[in-house]
Chain A
Amino acid sequence: MRIMIDSVVEFLQGNFWALTALKLVAILTLIPVSGLAIGFAELKLSAKMQNRVGPYFAGGRWGWAQLLADGIKFIQKEDIIPADADRPVFRWAPALVMVSAVGLFVVIPFWDGGAVADLSIGIFYVLAISSISTIGILMAGWSSANKYSLMGGLRAAGQLIAYELPMVLAVIGVVIMAGTMSLSGIVKAQADFSLFGWSGFGDQPIANFISPFFILQFVGFLIFFISALAELSRIPFDMPIAESELVTGYLTEYSGFRFLFFFLAEFSNMFTMSAIAATLFLGGYLGPFVDVAPWLGPLYLVTKIGVLCFLMIWFRWTFPRFREDQLQSVAWKVLVPLGLANIVVTAIFKVVM
């Protein structure tokens, strides 16, 4: 048995394509699992916040199989395409949204060296790929031949343009501090960081207890988190969906399996965005004793992601939504100046240190 594992590991290490294929399979499994997990967490948490029980019967206990049952239901439903729809665009839009979710998983380091591809321009890649989902949403809105969908799609586009900028500005602060754009490099930079000359307890680096970038880039973290909420179209920034105004915006005409794609992509994107925020600001896979027991790394990362996702769910079930013009003024009048100021202060700080 032991020999077999060793030989498999040896084969994989020697064979780039086989290893990549294995990693991709792992990612493709992780996406639905993360989507279902967050979806289920949202069901249960929202129920707790609203004095409800939530799903209870599916699966026998706690309703754990509720989303599986929902998924089966969606697959069985008729795939309706409106008569006036631009059919190819309408069909490809959900796939494009899903592509962005998949693409983001590729660069997240789950442990030291545990990313599918550790790109040297990792964060650049993340910002580029995360915008693709908005193109998918715009396609969905435009091709549906529905005025509500169109307005939802256009709102999504406006939202992307407005919030991409503060997000980039927030990330620049981190990049200045870390001196690298690689995500694993940023995590390592946090591990090696010393706060005013203090680098940690004994041989435990400082990042194992507190995350330096969360503290040093707190403004950046806030800007990043708010922008991530807006990019994910979560309340209070869910104007592209806005079911009380635009019915359900760009989702209005979607049904069945294609709707499921959007649904899953929403939760998967939540997972990846939280993962990136955790990597950039919360020290990624770092945590106590992670240097002696590397298998703790993914657990720490998932815990940090869980905390961020919980925040997103909490916001969603507490706040009303902004109006479209208020969303724009928050982005341009508050977040962008704040992000620029953050960069200046960070740069000075970096030089002085």
Chain B
Amino acid sequence: MTLEQDALKHFSEVSVALELQTPDMTLNIGPQHPSTHGVLRIVAQVDGERVTDVKPVIGYMHRGYEKIAEVRTYPQITALVNRIDWVSGFANEIPFMAATEKLMDIEVPERARYIRMILTEMARISSHLMFMASYPLELGATTPLMFALRERERVLDLIESVTGGRFHPNFNRIGGVKPNAGAGPSQKKAVQDLPKGFLQAARDAMDELLSTCDQFDELVTGNEIFLARCKGVGIMSAALAADFGVSGPNLRASGVAFDLRTHTDYLPYDQVNFDVVTGTVGDSFDRWQVRLEEIRQAAYIVQQAVDQIPSGPLQAKVPKIIKVPKGEVYVRAENPKGEMGYYIVSEGGQGPYRLKIRSASYSNISVIPQLLEGVLVPDIIAIMGSFDFVLGDVDR
């Protein structure tokens, strides 16, 4: 091909491209949209179905918890923090309690620690089941929603029977857990403990849950269309995930076997056996698979914990008015959504001088713009949904 022919071909291609050029359209996804899990807003530039640029806008739900915490006492903050990630309210309280107890140098009774662990794992199951419900729905399959919510109901019933609350248990107390309200008149001599039959009910519910996980494998995981929508979509490398502070199941789906439950001692996870589930490539399908497997692992943890739970008091001795000694502490925990931590700066008062809330979803979704460039509009939903975020956890 001569140079002229080459140039001519090039020019004709360019002129055709110019001829066919169309302005990009701004598609405003959210803050009111069925698939943004609340009030996330994504301003996407789309060229037809192809996304050219994405800008997430958050803050529609910013409640200023870090500021409010400066004028609240520690017990009052418990009620605030379980509204951060409302899908797993109980798990939110744990790192805050652990941090406060660390500052006050309180040894939490073993039974209380076990109850906390059981309920945290139940909160994890509940949170992951919510994902099992919403993610297929975002891909167009409606039936898994009902299956997942039915199972979640079992777990929420158990949480309710212990704490009296389904979403916002507000059950932890500094130094232990709240003695069960249903266990008799709240006299000092009455036995204050888990409700009768709870342990057996938990065992049964976990057995049911494990069989439902198999149902999910059959209904969703093996579905060809589901695989076509998830496999190879939204691949996140481990380095990218670490750079953005992506944690929890999303990080493990990228192949990093990092689970804070095995590294920290905020709950007696060293007393139970469980696997740290990891994915291989870090696509949406891996994130689904990791969560499904984590439900099973959480069920195993509950089963073991229920068998091992020691007897004893539920509360350590704490002063009536809680004043936390001067100091700084950061305690992080493996929450369903990822690493959740509280940096408490105490100046010896009844409330913290500064409380930094490190929430998982905030860091998790900050990476999403990196993954969305050049994908199709349906993939925005498929990728965003696979990160399983909650806007309360993003905005705090």
A319 in complex: contacting residue of B141, B146, B378, CB < 8 Å: B141
Q: How far is the CA of A52 from the CA of B137 in the complex (A)?
A: 17
Of residues 118 to 171 in B, which have CB atoms within 8 Å of A's CB atoms?
Answer: 136-143, 145-147, 150
Interface string of B360-395 (1 = CB under 8 A from A): 000000000000000011111110000000000000
Question: Does A79 sit within 8 A of B, measured CB to CB?
Answer: no
A236 and B25 contacting across the interface, CB-CB below 8 Å: no
Q: A50 CA to B150 CA in the complex, in Å?
A: 10
Which residue of chain A lies nearest to B29 when distances are taken between CB atoms in the complex? Answer: A245
Q: Which one of A51, A236, A245, A324 contacts B381 once the chains associate, using CB atoms below 8 Å?
A: A245
Are A320's CB and B378's CB within 8 A?
no
| Contact (Cβ within 8 A) A323 B136 | no
Verify if B13 is at the interface (C-beta below 8 Å from A): no
Say yes or no: is A9 at the interface (Cβ < 8 Å to chain B): no
B35: interface (CB < 8 Å): yes
Is there contact, CB below 8 Å, between B146 and A321?
no
Interface residues of B in 198-238 (CB under 8 A from A): 219, 223, 225-226, 228-229
Instruction: Flag whether B34 is at the interface (Cβ < 8 A).
Output: yes
Contact of B225 among A242, A317, A319 (CB under 8 A): A319
In the complex, which residue of chain B has the Cβ closest to the Cβ of A243? B34
A120 at the B interface (CB under 8 A):
no
Of A50, A52, A235, A244, the residue contacting B138 (CB under 8 A) is A244
Tell whether A324 pairs with B225 under 8 Å between CB atoms, given A50-B142, A151-B377.
no
Contact check, A318 vs B379: say whether CB atoms are below 8 A apart.
no
B33 touches A (CB below 8 Å): yes
Determine whether the beta carbon of A320 is less than 8 Å from that of B150.
Answer: no
Closest to B380 in A: A245
Give CA–CA (A147, B48) in the complex, Å: 11
Contact with B along A321-348 (1 / 0, CB 8 A): 1111110000000000000000000000
In the bound complex, residues from chain B placing their C-beta under 8 Å from that of A323 are 228-229, 376, 378-379, 382
| Residues in chain A near residue B226, CB distance under 8 A | 320
Given A147-B27, A238-B140, the answer on whether A247 and B228 have CB atoms closer than 8 Å is no
B107 interface residue, CB < 8 Å from A? no
CB distance from B142 to the nearest CB of A (A): 6
CA distance in complex: A22, B25 (Å): 51
Q: Does A207 contact B (CB under 8 A)?
A: no
In the complex, A126→B68 CA distance in Å? 67
Determine if B146 and A239 form an interchain contact, defined as CB atoms under 8 angstroms apart: no
Report yes or no: A235 in contact with B140, Cβ–Cβ below 8 A.
Answer: yes
Cβ < 8 Å to B, chain A residues 199-258: 235-236, 238-239, 242-247
CA distance A214 to B166 in the complex (A): 54
Q: Do the beta carbons of B229 and A318 come within 8 Å of each other?
A: no
**B307 interface hit (Cβ, 8 Å):** no
Give the residues in chain A near B137, CB-CB below 8 Å: 244
B146–A320 CB distance below 8 A: no
A236 touches B27 (CB 8 A): no
Considering the complex, give the chain B residue whose CB is closest to the CB of A50: B146
**Shortest Cβ gap from A216 to chain B (Å):** 28
A52 to chain B: closest residue by CB? B146
B275 at the interface (CB under 8 A from A): no
Task: Determine the distance from Cα of A242 to Cα of B49 in the docked complex, in whole angstroms.
Answer: 14
**Contact present for A320 and B33 (CB under 8 Å):** no
**Bound Cα distance from A323 to B380, whole angstroms:** 11
The number of chain B residues with a CB under 8 A from chain A is 32
Chain B residues whose C-beta falls within 8 Å of the C-beta of A235 in the assembled complex: 140-141
The distance in angstroms between the C-alpha atoms of A45 and B396, with both chains bound, is: 41
Chain A 174-190 near chain B by CB (<8 Å), digits 1 or 0 = 00000000000000000
Specify which chain A residues have a CB less than 8 angstroms from the CB of B27 in the assembled complex: 147-148, 151
* Smallest Cβ-Cβ distance to A316: which chain B residue: B142
Once A320-B223, A322-B225 are accepted as A-B contacts, the answer to whether A244 and B147 lie under 8 Å apart by CB is: no
CB pair B381–A326 under 8 Å, yes or no, is: no
Q: Does A8 contact B (CB under 8 A)?
A: no
Give CA–CA (A76, B373) in the complex, Å. 45
Check B142 against A326 for contact (C-beta < 8 Å): no
B141, A245: Cβ atoms under 8 Å?
Answer: no
User: How long is the Cα–Cα vector from A239 to B381 in the complex, in angstroms?
Assistant: 13
> Is the beta-carbon distance between B378 and A239 smaller than 8 angstroms?
yes
Q: A244-B137, A245-B35 are in contact. Are A322 and B146 (CB under 8 A)?
A: no
A161 at the interface (CB under 8 A from B): no
Q: Check B143 against A320 for contact (C-beta < 8 Å).
A: no
Q: Which residue of A lies closest to B36 (CB)?
A: A244
A128 on interface, CB distance cutoff 8 Å:
no
| Complexed CA–CA distance, A50 and B28 (Å) | 33
Q: Which of B139, B147, B379, B380 contacts A320 (CB 8 A)?
A: B139
Contact A242 B229 (CB under 8 A): no
Across chains A and B, which 6 residue pairs bring their CB atoms closest together, nearest first? A321-B140, A320-B139, A50-B146, A320-B141, A320-B140, A244-B138
Q: List 29 A-B contacts (CB under 8 A).
A: A50-B146, A50-B147, A51-B146, A51-B150, A147-B25, A147-B27, A151-B377, A235-B140, A236-B140, A242-B140, A242-B378, A244-B35, A244-B138, A245-B380, A245-B381, A246-B377, A247-B33, A317-B142, A317-B143, A320-B141, A320-B229, A321-B141, A321-B225, A321-B229, A322-B225, A323-B228, A323-B378, A323-B379, A325-B49
Given contacts A52-B146, A244-B35, A321-B141, 17 further A-B contacts (CB under 8 A): A49-B143, A50-B147, A51-B146, A151-B377, A236-B140, A245-B380, A247-B34, A318-B143, A318-B219, A319-B223, A322-B228, A323-B228, A323-B229, A323-B378, A324-B377, A324-B378, A325-B49
